[in-house]
């Protein structure tokens, strides 16, 4: 299994500002994923982040709005830039481990006012 932590656990931010969310894993992993879960909705994949390469973004998500860093095999950040109230969501990171399982972090609850 994998133990994943995210910081911050929650935040309230003002429109137009940016927030960087950190994801830390207790072991080295190749693949990390970032998801968004809007209120009352299911999870939507934002991007896949592999160490040593540029993140791959899903349709509807762009690097300028959601820049991602993956400096090593245990850490990644997602920045939500120039926030608007529509960005209010839970943001989750997940990792792929051996035996084809994905494990999820506890999420970061973001409220934009």
Partner 1 sequence: DAKTTQPPSMDCAEGRAANLPCNHSTISGNEYVYWYRQIHSQGPQYIIHGLKNNETNEMASLIITEDRKSSTLILPHATLRDTAVYYCIVRVAGNDMRFGAGTRLTVKP
* DSSP percent split of the chain into helix, strand, coil, nearest 5: 5, 55, 40
Binding mask 76-95 for partner 1 (x = CB under 8 A): --------------x-x-x-
Binding mask 6-35 for partner 1 (x = CB under 8 A): -------------------------x-x-x
Q: Residue 62 and residue 51: Cα distance in Å, rounded?
A: 19
80: helix, coil or strand? Answer: strand
Strand partners, 43: 37
Contact between 4 and partner 1 per CB under 8 A: yes
Q: Which residues contact partner 1 (rule: CB under 8 A)?
A: 4, 31, 33, 35, 42-45, 48, 90, 92, 94, 96, 100-107, 109
């Amino acid at each position: 299994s994998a133990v994943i932590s995210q910081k911050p656990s929650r935040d309230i931010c003002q429109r137009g500002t940016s927030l960087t969310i950190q994801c830390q894993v207790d072991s080295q992993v190749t693949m990390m994923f970032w998801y968004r879960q809007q209120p009352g909705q299911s999870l939507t994949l934002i991007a896949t982040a592999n160490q040593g390469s540029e993140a791959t973004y899903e349709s509807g998500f762009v690097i300028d709005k959601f820049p991602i860093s993956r400096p090593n095999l245990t850490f990644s950040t997602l920045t939500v830039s120039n926030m608007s109230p529509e960005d209010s969501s839970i943001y989750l990171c997940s990792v792929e481990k051996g035996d084809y399982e994905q494990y999820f972090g506890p999420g970061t609850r973001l409220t934009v006012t």
